[in-house]
Every structure is written in C-alpha cells, then in structure tokens.
Amino acid sequence: MLSFEVVTLFPELFEQHLKHLPLKKGLEIGAIKINFHNIRDFAVDERGSVDDKPYGGGPGMVLRPEPVFDTVESIKRVSQDKSKSRVVLLSPAGQKYTQKKVREYSQLEQLILISGRYEGFDARIEEGLADEAISIGDYVLSGGEVPIMVILESVTRVMPGILEKAGASEIESFESNFVEYPQYTRPEEYRGMKVPEVLLSGNHAEIEKWRKEKSKPINP
C-alpha cells in the first residue's frame, strides 16, 4: 500500500476528487491511503497565522517554515527505510514531473506532498525539509493543490488492480517516450471525416504498424 500524506491549507479542495476513479478504486481496494494534514493546525499564534511578509520587501505573503516543518514532522513514518518514503514540495521551480517519476513514486510506501500557497514559501522548507521539489509545468498556479491532485491520480492509476485491463497503463502515452496513436470509434464516418481504412481491415500486423507510425515522440 502507498500512503499519500497531503500537507495543505485547504484539504477540502480534494473532497470531490476522491469520489471518482482512479482514486476511489484505489481507496476501495486498499492500494492507497490518503491522509490530509492542515498546516493551520500548527499555526504560530492563536490567530492561526502561518505566513508573514517577505524579508527584503515585496508583494504578498510567504509561508513561514515553522508550521510546515511541524506538520511534516508530526506525520508518522510508515517505514524506517528512507528509500520507501519521500517528502516532495510542489514548486514551479522544481524538477519537471514525468511518467518516469510517476513509476518511481508508485514503488514507495509513503509519499508526503507539501502544497504551497500565497506568494510562496520560505526557502528553508525546500532546503531543510523536502527531499525534492516537483513542478507539473512552466506556469504559475495559486497553490500546490492542483499539482498534488495530478500526482495522486497519475501515480494511483499505474498501480496494480486500478485499471480494468491488466497492463493497460504500460501502453499509454509517455510510457515509452511517445504520445499514444490516435483512437477512433463509431460511426465510421462523421461530418466527412472517416476512420482510417487500416483500422477496419482486421489486419492486426498492419494496424500495429500504423499505430507505431502515428505515435509521436515526446521531443521530436
């Protein structure tokens, strides 16, 4: 079982996501467990403060290190083997998230995911707490909750027993540095656009050849 530990200020943002596949099935069959940890539970004062103005000036507020460190350190580790657990900070400056990383995470027993908010987070969170920083793309979001949802879903769906057909995740886009070939279904013709004849031929060798030709390399 892989235990996801989500560190966030807004655990309620995940509620609907957990009611649908693949996370719903992953939870039902015991392939995954998802725990939420609210950073505000470890606020630095009675007002619930978790952020402050940045040193040196500038717009916005920055997440303070104390509540984030305290939240992560309160999480019980599932294994003494550090290779089985990972602390990941979601950051636009992090390493690009790829299908290779998806497979790597799926082999863990525990994945602690830290979501930032506001203008950012104190740099010491990445320096002294996270094992790595991950980015899902070269753009800016309001927080790390959506990127965490991406990780939760992508990792869960490659785990055994999640997809209906065994091995289905292994032939999908990005698994072999290619984007999957185009797919077609009924009707055979729609608004003048026809299904390629080869897919109707029943010639499996030719169909496989066509699919390989139509698969696009990730970095052409």
Question: How far apart (Å, rounded) are the C-alpha atoms in residues 114 and 36?
Answer: 10
Cβ atoms of residues 204 and 215 within 8 Å: no
Q: List the beta bridge partners of residue 114.
A: 7, 89
Question: How far apart (Å, rounded) are the C-alpha atoms in residues 40 and 47?
Answer: 10
Q: Residues marked as binding?
A: 116, 136-141
Chain Cα centroid distance, residue 200: 37
Q: Residues marked as binding for S-adenosyl-L-methionine?
A: 116, 136-141
Determine the Cα angle at 177 with ends 201 and 186, to 5°.
30
Question: How far apart (Å, rounded) are the C-alpha atoms in residues 212 and 180?
Answer: 9
By three-state DSSP, how is residue 128 classified? helix
